[in-house]
Chain A
Amino acid sequence: GENVEQHPSTLSVQEGDSAVIKCTYSDSASNYFPWYKQELGKRPQLIIDIRSNVGEKKDQRIAVTLNKTAKHFSLHITETQPEDSAVYFCAASTGGYQKVTFGIGTKLQVIP
């Protein structure tokens, strides 16, 4: 089955700096890579996703990149703000209502 590795497990940045979270996956059939943000005590929420026919996708201050050859993808947050503090999960799936495999999560702390 699919295995998703995520690092770092914790990340502290100063407000205004950038944050990068990296993930690798094992199943070459995976073609959908979502990122979830989980605030304390709440459910994970999808913040951005990328499909295998795209190398990069951007939405305001967040962007994701995908390298299918190397089987890794990354989340980039620019101009971080205190409200970006949360746990971020990467994930991989083959789509089509199939199971989504999650990474272990990265706890991001943005220091004001």
Chain B
Amino acid sequence: SQTIHQWPATLVQPVGSPLSLECTVEGTSNPNLYWYRQAAGRGLQLLFYSVGIGQISSEVPQNLSASRPQDRQFILSSKKLLLSDSGFYLCACTGPYEQYFGPGTRLTVT
């Protein structure tokens, strides 16, 4: 089965600073990959998904971007963080049916 790695686990960044979160997947090839954000006490907001290298679909327009430079690598970036970017960022991939989640990165923008 798939294993998803995310790093860093926690991050504190000032407003206006750049961001780079990384996700890698083991145990599968050509996975569909997803980035979700979860604000405190809220649901799962789908940010981006990718069906292959270089193929990115954006679900919500905002100051974030995503890239998929390799088959099992998915990166979430920002040039300038906003306070509203604080949250729990989850990388995920889909199996034949269910969706698997990585351990998440908790981002606090100060």
Contacts and interface: CB of A to CB of B under 8 A. Distances in A.
Interface in B33-63: 34, 41-44, 46, 49
Contacts of A44: 44, 90, 101
B73 interface: no
In this complex, the interface size class of chain B, counting residues with CB under 8 Å from chain A, is 20 to 34
A34 B99 contact: yes
A105 B97 contact: no
Interface stretch (A61-69, A75-83, A96-104): A96-104
A100 to B, nearest CB: 4
Given A89-B44, A102-B43, A102-B44, A95 B96 contact: yes
B26 to A, nearest CB: 16
Contacts of A105: 42-44
B94 interface: yes
Interface in B58-110: 88, 90, 94-99, 101-104, 106
A10 to B, nearest CB: 10
B13 interface: no
Nearest to A32: B97
Nearest to A91: B99
Contacts of B42: 105
Contacts of B104: 42-43
Given A93-B97, A97-B96, 5 more contacts: A41-B106, A46-B99, A89-B44, A91-B99, A105-B43
B44 A97 contact: no
Closest 3 CB pairs of A and B: A43-B101, A104-B43, A100-B99
